Structure 1
Amino acid sequence: MRRVLPIAGVAALILTGCTGTTRGNPRPSSESPGQTATPDTADQVPGPGVPKVETPVDLTRFRQSPCDALSESQAGELIGPEVQTRPDLESPAGPACSWNPPDASRPLVRVIFDRAATAGLTSFYKDKGARYALFTPLEPINGYPVVAYGVYDARDTEGVCSVAVGTSDQEVFDVGLTLSQANVGKKDPCDVAREGAIRALTTIRGTS
């Protein structure tokens, strides 16, 4: 039985060569016609080492209705047959939805349509080893790149992991997974989170 419980819930710098003999009136150089302006690599997307998303997916609908990312049966395949659905449109990270058993805090799966990562997965790669102690690229899902990440590594101690899926070079969605207490240390929550991402991406691509 599905119950919905509402709750409150990174300009390219163009480097152009200029020459000219008149002070104060620079003009484009005519000596190097083959040269083109190149953007600052710090602002490129995807950034160095970041996989490119060849077929972007539109997330607009799901930012408005994040709980549509997983059906009740899809969520049940991840955390058990009886789930409740909790939308959180005001989440600081972005519109989100959580699924967990009634009257229990775990297991839990949460999908977030990240509003802060405006450089897509490049935002996550930049924070590798700095903000994120846990950062592991995972097997792509139908060509869409995936990384597991965390401020600290809580896989074995707390059974917690988040994965980010690049749906374009500028956008991602996240799936956070918390295992049941009985499965902590026995299952890899990043594997389960990726399974959640597979299901969510199937739903998202099927409706976009």
Structure 2
Amino acid sequence: MTDPIADTSAVESEPCAAIPGAEIESIAGKVKRTRAEDMTAGKACTWVFELSPTTVNAGLVMGNKDGLSAIYAQHASGSLTTFKPVEPIDGYPAVVYANGGEGKGNCTLAVGVRDDLVYHVIPRLSSEHPSYSDPCGLAAKVAAAAIKHLKKS
């Protein structure tokens, strides 16, 4: 990786700090509430939008020390139902993947911010959301905003 993001400590402890409120709203719509959640592999932020039941969950996956390589290994072992490398996001490699749960308005995007760390973005969009037909496009915009802020910290 050519430009790994070394210091991610601010977002590790405060995952919602990855993207300012006005910026997430310009990408995905009016936010009703935001909550940080302890996930099995690290803290994530869930933005709940007024256009219910739309949510976007995003955060660094601290429990995965193999970065994107772990997702490629899952694919190689045949344990994923979706696996699609996508255009790099702000120069960082990315993949859309799933192990079930695919469906309209859903996407799971992982971006390798360094060799041992990925940033996940998981939109779950209602059918009324403007990005319903392209949830991975929305995920890419959210990831790009987070990477921009991670690089500044």
TM-score of the two chains, using structure 2 as the length reference: 0.88
Counterpart for residue 172 of structure 1 = 118
From 142, 146, 150, the equivalent of 2:90 is: 142
Q: How many residues align?
A: 151
1:79 maps to a residue whose letter is: A
Find the residue that maps to 1:67 and give its secondary structure: helix
Find the residue that maps to 1:154 and give its secondary structure: coil
Q: Tell me the CA shift for residue 61 of structure 1.
A: 1.8
Q: Tell me the CA shift for residue 206 of structure 1.
A: 1.6
For the pair 1:93 / 2:93, whether they are aligned, the reply is: no
Counterpart for residue 72 of structure 2 = 125
From 96, 100, 106, the equivalent of 1:160 is: 106
Gaps of 5+ in 1: 1-52
Counterpart for residue 188 of structure 1 = 134
1:138 maps to a residue whose letter is: V
Counterpart for residue 72 of structure 1 = 21
Q: Extract structure 1 runs of 4+ deviating beyond 3 A.
A: 183-186
Q: Structure 2 CA distance, aligned partners of 1:69 and 1:141? A: 15
Counterpart for residue 114 of structure 1 = 61
Q: Which has the larger radius of gyration?
A: 1
Tell me if structure 1 keeps the 8 A contact 2:54–2:129: no
Tell me if structure 2 keeps the 8 A contact 1:79–1:100: no
Deviation per CA, 1:63-95: give whole Å up to 9, x if none: 11111011111221233123311011x221311
Q: Tell me the CA shift for residue 153 of structure 1.
A: 5.8
Change (3 A) 1:205 1:185: closer
1:152 maps to a residue whose letter is: G
Q: Tell me the CA shift for residue 99 of structure 1.
A: 0.5
Q: Structure 2 CA distance, aligned partners of 1:125 and 1:71? A: 31
Q: Tell me the CA shift for residue 101 of structure 1.
A: 2.2
TM-score of the two chains, using structure 1 as the length reference: 0.66
Percent identity over the alignment is 28
Change (3 A) 1:206 1:155: farther
Tell me if structure 2 keeps the 8 A contact 1:109–1:175: yes
Q: Structure 2 CA distance, aligned partners of 1:67 and 1:185? A: 21
Find the residue that maps to 1:83 and give its secondary structure: strand
Q: Tell me the CA shift for residue 182 of structure 1.
A: 2.2
Q: Whose strand fraction is larger, Structure 1's or Structure 2's?
A: 2
Higher relative contact order structure (alpha carbons within 8 Å, sequence separation ≥ 6): 2
Indicate the RMSD between aligned Cα atoms, in angstroms. Answer: 2.1
